[in-house]
């Protein structure tokens, strides 16, 4: 599965294996949740001596699952297994760039004994197949991961005829703060991994880093040095860190932004396509670090889904928090500081569903199922509940109050 994923969406070996591991984690965790909650049937208090009262969670019926290209095994399996384990049937529409991964997931499910009519695979463009599913009155609920623009269209279209549960995660513009009291080695590695892992094509990717001015020069110097050593190349090769972008549209978008930041900002590293050897046949680009960015610039506001990191100075913690929160998105965020008061202020003031403190392996990415619920605030999500958390399965069910009189 990981090998197929590398060929299909360009993830390196490590990221591809992690994608498959996460899919396994989702299935185990959600099955355990159904067991530990006894199928979400709960004995309630009795209002009268002759009454037995229960809360029973029941499936909605048919769920449309519309999955993304960046985690075509993990997120697809997570959304499908949550819908299935709670008793719903599923119509799965994978991203147009990654249909083979979804096909393999379904094949494994069928081989394991799941009736084919319970999990149904349809492929095609979002504008045709996706829209047909969203507008269908035969669909009782929708689970979607993708862009804000597509998600909002799904939200309004899906509820046009009747109310439906629409469970969505819609991306992020994720900030990290680096304090003057940070371990800079850990901060550099964490920010670079979060910004450029899978070529920045993660909804949780770090795209903005706010650095206290006292350590700004040293942090930037070390970040550029670290980033310059990340290998861009064929993702099937063992030492490749960044493979290609997903498609020509993403490649062209990178080229446009590379030209924009070269003209309007100061490029510290990157902003170039990679055309050495065989890479001239693919959508390979350099990780890009930019600073001296005009206030309100689009690279500070828009989710780009590209390996482009904006670096901004700050003086006081409150100023940095204000800049972090100045976004319509609120998915993930991180801080590097060894000062307990700074950490407390960050945790109390940051507007994000998933936050990390001094995480060396990644500043904003890499949430683990069952440990770090993955939830978006603001325009990053609709439910206020996270995947891989104890609340997620309840989103796929509706409550029925049952009273039995003696």
| CA distance linking residue 73 with residue 82, whole number of Å | 14
* Confidence at 27, pLDDT banded by 50, 70, 90: very high
Q: pLDDT per residue over 160-210, tens digit each?
A: 999 999 999 999 999 999 999 999 999 999 999 999 999 999 999 999 999
Structure-token pair, residue 292: 């001296």
Using the predicted structure, report yes or no on whether residue 267 has a pLDDT greater than 90.
yes
- Predicted confidence at residue 315, as pLDDT, reads 97
Which pLDDT band, with edges at 50, 70 and 90, does 113 fall under?
very high
Q: Which residues are catalytic?
A: 169, 203
Beta bridge partners of 176: 209, 334
Q: Are 94 and 72 in contact (CB under 8 A)?
A: yes
Does residue 406 register a pLDDT over 90? Answer: no
Q: Which residues, other chains included, contact 58 with Cβ-Cβ below 8 Å and sequence gap of 6+?
A: 87, 397, 398, 399, 400
Contact 63, 83 (CB under 8 A): yes
In percent, the amount of the chain with pLDDT more than 90 equals 99
Say what the pTM is. 0.95
Give the integer Cα–Cα distance in Å for 167 and 385: 9
Q: Give the separation between CA 338 and CA 347, rounded to whole angstroms.
A: 14
Output the pLDDT for position 104: 97
Give the residue-averaged pLDDT of 233-251: 97
Name the E strands within 185-328. 206-212, 266-269, 288-291, 308-314
Residue 274 scores a pLDDT above 90: yes
Could you give the CA distance from residue 341 to residue 210 in angstroms, rounded to a whole number? 18
pLDDT at 216: 98
pLDDT one-digit tens code per residue, 327-344: 999 999 999 999 999 999
pLDDT at 135 over 90: yes
Q: What is the mean pLDDT of residues 21-34?
A: 98
Residue 378, pLDDT > 90, answer yes
Q: Tell me the average pLDDT of the chain.
A: 97
Query: Do 68 and 172 meet the contact criterion of CB atoms below 8 Å apart?
Result: no
What's the CA gap between 287 and 209, in Å, rounded?
15
Predicted confidence at residue 385, as pLDDT, reads: 95
Helix ranges (DSSP H) in 1-114 = 2-9, 13-36, 74-85, 99-111
Burial class, 288, CB count within 10 angstroms (exposed 0-12 / middle 13-18 / buried 19+): buried
| Nearest to 184, CA basis, from 210, 220, 213 | 220
Residue 59 has a pLDDT of: 98
What confidence tier does 153 reach under pLDDT thresholds 50, 70, 90? Answer: very high
């Amino acid at each position: 599965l990981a090998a197929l994923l590398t060929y299909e969406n360009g993830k390196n070996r490590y990221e591809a294996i992690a994608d498959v591991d996460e899919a396994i984690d989702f299935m185990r965790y959600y099955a355990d949740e159904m067991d530990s909650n006894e199928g979400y049937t709960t004995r309630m208090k009795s209002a009268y001596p002759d009454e037995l009262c229960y809360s029973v969670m029941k499936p909605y019926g048919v769920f449309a699952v519309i999955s993304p290209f960046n985690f075509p095994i993990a997120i697809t399996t997570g959304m499908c297994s949550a819908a299935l384990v709670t008793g719903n049937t599923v119509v799965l529409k994978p991203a147009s760039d990654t249909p083979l991964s979804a096909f393999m997931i379904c094949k494994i499910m069928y081989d394991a004994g799941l009736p084919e009519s319970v999990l149904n695979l349809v492929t095609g463009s979002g504008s045709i197949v996706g829209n047909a599913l969203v507008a269908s009155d035969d669909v009782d609920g929708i689970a979607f991961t993708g862009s804000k623009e597509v998600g909002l269209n799904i939200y309004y279209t899906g509820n046009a005829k009747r109310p439906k549960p629409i469970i969505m995660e819609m991306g992020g513009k994720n900030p990290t703060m680096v304090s003057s009291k940070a371990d800079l080695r850990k901060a550099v590695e964490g920010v670079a991994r979060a910004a450029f892992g899978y070529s920045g094509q993660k909804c949780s990717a770090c795209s903005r880093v706010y650095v206290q001015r006292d350590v700004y020069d040293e942090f930037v110097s070390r970040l550029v040095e670290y980033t310059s050593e990340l290998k861009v190349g064929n993702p099937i090769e063992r030492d490749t860190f960044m493979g290609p972008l997903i498609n020509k549209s993403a490649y062209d978008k990178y080229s446009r932004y590379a030209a924009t930041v070269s003209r309007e900002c100061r490029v510290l590293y990157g902003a170039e396509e990679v055309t050495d050897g065989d890479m001239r046949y693919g959508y390979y680009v350099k990780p890009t670090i930019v600073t001296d960015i005009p206030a309100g610039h689009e690279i500070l506001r828009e989710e780009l889904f590209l390996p482009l990191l904006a670096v901004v100075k700050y003086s006081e913690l409150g100023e940095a928090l204000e800049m972090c929160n100045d976004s319509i998105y609120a998915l993930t965020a991180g801080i590097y500081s060894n000062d307990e008061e700074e950490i407390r202020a960050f945790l109390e003031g940051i507007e994000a569903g998933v936050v990390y403190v001094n995480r060396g392996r990644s500043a904003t990415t890499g949430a683990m199922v069952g440990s770090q619920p993955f939830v978006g605030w603001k325009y990053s999500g609709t439910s206020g509940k996270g995947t891989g958390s104890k609340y997620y399965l309840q989103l796929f069910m509706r409550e029925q109050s049952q009273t039995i009189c003696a």
